[in-house]
Structure 1
Amino acid sequence: MKLNITPYLFFTGKGGVGKTSLACATAVTLSDEGKRVLLISTDPASNLKEVLETGIADTVTPVNGTDNLFAVNIDPEQAAGEYRNRAIEPLKGLLPDHEIAKMREELSGACTTEIAAFDEFTRYVTDKRKSANGSGNPDSGNPAPGNGSPDKNAREGRPASDASETEAEADFDVVIFDTAPTGHTLRLLELPAAWSDYIEKNPDGASCIGPSSALKTNKERYERVVKQLRDPEATTVYLVSRPDASALKEADRSSAELRELGLSNQNLLINGYFEPLDREDPFARNMQEMADLALAGMPDSLRKMPAQTFPLRPYNILGLERLRSVFQTPDSSNLNANAVADTGRDATASLDKLIADLTADRDHGLVMTMGKGGVGKTAMAVTIALKLAQKGHPVHLTTTDPAAHIDDQLGSAAELPENLTIGRIDPKKEKKEYIEKVIASKSGSMSQENLRLLREDLESPCTEEVAVFQAFSKSIQQARRKFVVIDTAPTGHTLLLLDTTGSYHKEVLRNTQLSKDRMKTPFMYLQDQNFARILLVTLPETTPITEAAKLQSDLRRAGIQPWGWIANQSLAATGVSDPLLRQRAAEEVPLLEEIKERHSENVYSVPFIAESKIPKKLFELKSETT
C-alpha cells in the first residue's frame, strides 16, 4: 500500500469522485495488515452500508468479514436531537414550559444540525498520546493513534478526551474520515473558528445552538481538535478526483481552502483513469484522450503534490472482495468480451422527451435537479435551462450549491440565449446583504451602540441559514411567471435547506389568521407538483440509485413528490466495443429497469459523453424517444 498513513486520514473532494470507495478500500487494506481501524462517515448522505455490506449505525460497529475494522455514521439529525436535549435539560424546572418549547423550536434549524454534527465529529479526534502500555502519555512525542466512539458519558456532553472508554471503543491505530462533498466538509471544518469568534464577541449572548455560555465549555476541546487536524504528523488529507477538468478544479479549490484552515499535509488521488483495451473503439479512445488532456492541464498546486492513480474497474466497488482489489493490479483476462449492453431504451426516454413533457401544459414553473454529489445535477440543470430557452421560454438558472459549478458548465455551452438569465445563491454574499438590509431598516430607530450590538449578533453563522432561505424563496417566486431551474447542492445540504423551508412554513401557519386556501408558503409551492417539477438525478449504479431512492422517501415524507428521474452518464445508452466498457454497460441494464419498475414512471436516460463540452453536446443531442 503506497498511501501515506498518519493516525487521522481525511478523504474529501467533489461528489461522485469515489471518496467512499477509496476510504473503504484503505480501511479494509489497513485492517488486513493488522491495524485497528475506525472508519467514520461525516456525509449526511452516507453509503457505507452498501459499500461495506454491513449495517452501519451511529454507534461503532464491527465490519462483517474483518477482524480489526469498525465503522460509524455520524447522523446529523440524531446528533442534533441529542444536542438539543443537552442544551435544554438543565433548564427544565428553571424556565416555564412555554419558554422551553420556544427554545426547542429555535434549536430546530439547519444551523443547529451542522454544529451538532461537528460536536459529534470532535469526539473522534483527540490530542491523547499513547505510551507503550496503551495509557495516555502527553509527553511521548508520538502522534495520537486516535480514539473510538464516546461512551454514554461523552454522549451526555462531556468531551471524549475526558470520558472513560471501553477497550472496544479505544486504541485505534488509524481513524479514517469519509467526508461529505467538498462544500459541506469545508463548512464543517470552518465551524470551530466561526463559533469561537462569535462566542468571544457575544460571551453572554444566545444563538441558534443555545446559550453561548454553554457552548464555551467546549471551546478548548474544539481548539485541540483543530490543532490535531493541522499537525502534519497526525493528519493527512486525501484530495480525491476523477481525471476530468471540473473535478481537478474542485480539488485545487478545496486544497487552497483547506490550507487556509491549516490542513497542509495533502495528497492527490486520481480515481477511475481509463485505458482502452480495444484501441479501435473511438469512444474509448476519446475517453482516454479527455482524461489525459485534463491531467495535463491540472493546476500546478496539484501537480506538486504526492499523487497516486487508480484505474477504472469493470464493476462498481461494492463488498470486501472488490474493495481489496483497489490496491491490486487489474486483471483484464477475465473480462466478458461478449457482454451485451442492451440499452434498455424501452424503459427510459430521452432528454428531448423530458423537455417536451416539462412544457406540454405550461409556460412557467420550477424545475429542481436533486441527488447525490457527482451525478451530474449541474450539467442537467444547465442543459434543461438551455433547451427551455431554445423553445422561446424565459428562463432563470441558479444554484444553491456552495461549491457551484454552473459557470464551469456554461463555459462549454453554446452562445447563451437572450431569454436566459444566470444567478447564484452565494451563502456568504447573501449573508452580507441580509445583514446590511437589517441594519439599514433599524438605523433610524436605534442608537449607534445598539446598531453595533445588533451587527455583532447578526454575525452569528446561523444568519447565513436565514439569508440563503430568503434568496431561495425569491427564486421560487420568480417561477410564477417564468421557468426557474435550480441546481441544488448534494443531498444532505439540500435536505437542510428544505428543513429550513419547512420550519418557516410551520411558523407562518402558527402565526397567521389566514386560511391555507388564501396563502402559499415556499414549502407549499414545493409540494405542488403542477408548479414544482423535482427531478432526481442519478447514475446507473447501485449506490447513487439507493441514495436517490432514500432522498425520494425523505421528500415524500415531507409531502414533496418527485416528478421524474434522470439516469445520467449511461454507457448502456452509448455504442461501445471496448470489453471493459461493455461489461460496465451490461451491469447498468438491470439497474435502469429497477428505476422504472420501483421508483418512477417518468425515467429519462442520458448517454455517457466522453467530451469536455458536456452541456453543448447534450444540447445538440437528437431526440431518440422510443
Structure 2
Amino acid sequence: MDDLDLPDPSLKNIIDQTTLQWVFVGGKGGVGKTTTSCCLGVQLAKSRTKVLLVSTDPAHNLSDAFCQKIGREPTPIHGFDNLCAMEIDASQEAESEIEATDDNDVFGQMFNDLQNSIPGIDEAMSFSELMKQVQQLDFDVVVFDTAPTGHTLRLLSFPTILEKAFAKVWELKDRFGGLIGQATALMSGGNNPAAAQEQLLGKLEETRAVINKVNQAFQDPTKTTFVCVCIPEFLSIYETERLVQELSKYGIDSHNIVVNQVLFPEKDAEELSAWYEANGATLPKEAREICSKLLARKRMQDKYIGQCFDLYGDDFHVVLMPLLDYEVRGVEKLKTFSELLVDPVDMDE
C-alpha cells in the first residue's frame, strides 16, 4: 500500500466527524485512558457546541486530571464555556435506585426483583438509565472515559444482555400472561389483573425502547466510535488486540489506536544507538548506565510499536504520544498535550 493511502496518524478524523455522538476511550489499566479522554474532550470543544466527559471507571480520575472537583452531575470545566465532566459508577447508581424504591411501590419492588434475578442485569439497567440521562442533557458529543478492558466490554455488552432478558420476559408473558397478571394484581392489592400486568410490562417496554435505541446508536459508525489506548509493551498490545476483536463482535466501530508513553517518537533505537556509540565513551559511568537502560527500553518499545503498525497500520489511525518528564495535569498542560493527538510528532523529521 502506498504511504499516501495509509490512515493519518492522528485523531483528527474524530474531530472532523461532526456526526459522532458517542466516543468511548478504553484499554488496559494504567495506559493513560483518562489523559487521552480529557485531551480528546479539549480538542472536541474547539469545534463542538457542548461536549461532555463521563467517567464510568469506579476509580475516577477526571477530577485529578483537571485539578478540580467533579461530581455525579455535569460540572463545567474551568477555562471552557462548552466542556463539562461527570463521574458516575453504574453499580452504585443501581444500588441507589433500589434503595430509593418505596416499600409500598409494588411495581418498583417487582421491577427490582426482576433486575436481581438475572446476573449482570442490575448494572445493565443502571447503564440504560445513565444513557437515558445523558441523552436528556442535550450535549453534542459525549466522551466516555471507561474502566479497564474487562469492565468496558461488560458495559458495551449491556444492550445485548438486556435485549436477551426482555426477550425472555416477553416469552413468559405470552405463555403465562394470565398468571403474571393475577400475581401482579394480588401483590398490588388490586382486582384488575390486566391493568396490573400492563403497568409492569409497560415499564419494561419503556426500558427496552431505550436499550434498542442505544444499541442501534452503538452499532452506527456515524454516531459511535471507540478509541483503543495502549502502551508499547507486550501485555498492553495483547489486550488491545483482544479489545479490537471483541468490539468487532459487538459491531462497534474502532479505527483509532493511541500508543502512550513512547520514548522519543521522532527517533528509532538505531539512531540513538549510533549517537551513543559515537559519544558514549566520553560520558561518566553513571550516564553510560542510564543510556544503556534507556536504549534497551527504546528497542523493546520499537519492537512492539512495529507490531502495532503491522497489525493495524493499514486500517487504523495509530497515534504515538510521547513520554514526558512531567505529569499532564491541569487545563493548560492538557491543552498543550492534546495538540499532539491531532498534530502528532513527525516521525520523518
Q: Same fold (TM over 0.5)?
A: yes
Matched residues in 2 for 1:68 and 1:33: separation? 10
| 1:299-329 deviation line (CA, Å, top 9, x unaligned) | 8543331211111111121111111121346
* Unaligned 5+ runs, structure 1: 125-148, 150-159, 331-626
Identity of matched residues, %: 30
SS in structure 1 of the partner of residue 85 of structure 2: strand
SS in structure 2 of the partner of residue 238 of structure 1: strand
Matched residues in 2 for 1:117 and 1:24: separation? 24
Q: Structure 1 residues 106 and 220, CA, compared in 2 at 3 Å: closer, same or farther?
A: closer
Matched residues in 2 for 1:94 and 1:290: separation? 61
Structure 2 counterpart of 1:219, from 192, 208, 231: 208
Structure 1 counterpart of 2:312, from 302, 307, 325: 302
1:123 is matched with which residue? 132
Q: Please tell me whether residue 114 in structure 1 is matched to residue 123 in structure 2.
A: yes
* Shift, 1:237, TM fit: 1.0
Structure 1 counterpart of 2:150, from 158, 183, 186: 183
Q: Report the residue type matching 2:337 in the other structure.
A: V
| 1:172-194 deviation line (CA, Å, top 9, x unaligned) | 23211111111101111112112
1:37–1:173 contact (8 Å) kept in structure 2: yes
* Shift, 1:287, TM fit: 1.3
1:67 is matched with which residue? 81
SS in structure 2 of the partner of residue 123 of structure 1: helix
1:478 is matched with which residue? none
* Shift, 1:118, TM fit: 1.4
* Shift, 1:58, TM fit: 1.0
* Unaligned 5+ runs, structure 2: 1-9, 15-19, 174-179, 181-196, 281-290, 342-349
Q: Structure 1 residues 329 and 218, CA, compared in 2 at 3 Å: closer, same or farther?
A: closer
| 1:120-166 deviation line (CA, Å, top 9, x unaligned) | 33226xxxxxxxxxxxxxxxxxxxxxxxx4xxxxxxxxxx5xxxx5x
Matched residues in 2 for 1:109 and 1:249: separation? 31
Q: Please tell me whether residue 287 in structure 1 is matched to residue 297 in structure 2.
A: yes
Matched residues in 2 for 1:35 and 1:64: separation? 16
Q: Please tell me whether residue 11 in structure 1 is matched to residue 21 in structure 2.
A: no
2:166 is matched with which residue? 199
| 1:252-296 deviation line (CA, Å, top 9, x unaligned) | 110010110001342111111112889551111111100011122
Q: Please tell me whether residue 321 in structure 1 is matched to residue 332 in structure 2.
A: yes
Within 5 Å, give how 1:82-97 maps onto structure 2: 82-84=96-98, 88-89=101-102, 92=104, 94=106
SS in structure 2 of the partner of residue 58 of structure 1: coil
* Shift, 1:28, TM fit: 1.6
SS in structure 2 of the partner of residue 202 of structure 1: helix
Matched residues in 2 for 1:107 and 1:72: separation? 27
2:52 is matched with which residue? 38
The structure whose residues are more often helix, as a share, is 2
2:228–2:254 contact (8 Å) kept in structure 1: no
Q: Structure 1 residues 310 and 92, CA, compared in 2 at 3 Å: closer, same or farther?
A: same
Matched residues in 2 for 1:189 and 1:11: separation? 12
TM-score by length of 2: 0.70
Within 5 Å, give how 1:61-460 maps onto structure 2: 61-84=75-98, 88-89=101-102, 92=104, 94=106, 107=116, 111=120, 114-123=123-132, 149=134, 160=135, 169-170=137-138, 172-203=139-170, 204=172, 213=201, 214-275=203-264, 279=276, 280=280, 281-298=291-308, 300-304=310-314, 305-328=316-339
2:162–2:211 contact (8 Å) kept in structure 1: no
Q: Structure 1 residues 16 and 110, CA, compared in 2 at 3 Å: closer, same or farther?
A: farther
2:91–2:123 contact (8 Å) kept in structure 1: no
Q: Which moved more, 1:302-311 or 1:253-262?
A: 302-311
Q: Structure 1 residues 8 and 111, CA, compared in 2 at 3 Å: closer, same or farther?
A: closer
Q: Report the residue type matching 2:294 in the other structure.
A: A
Q: How many residues align?
A: 278
User: RCO higher in 1 or 2 (8 Å CA, sep ≥ 6)?
Assistant: 2
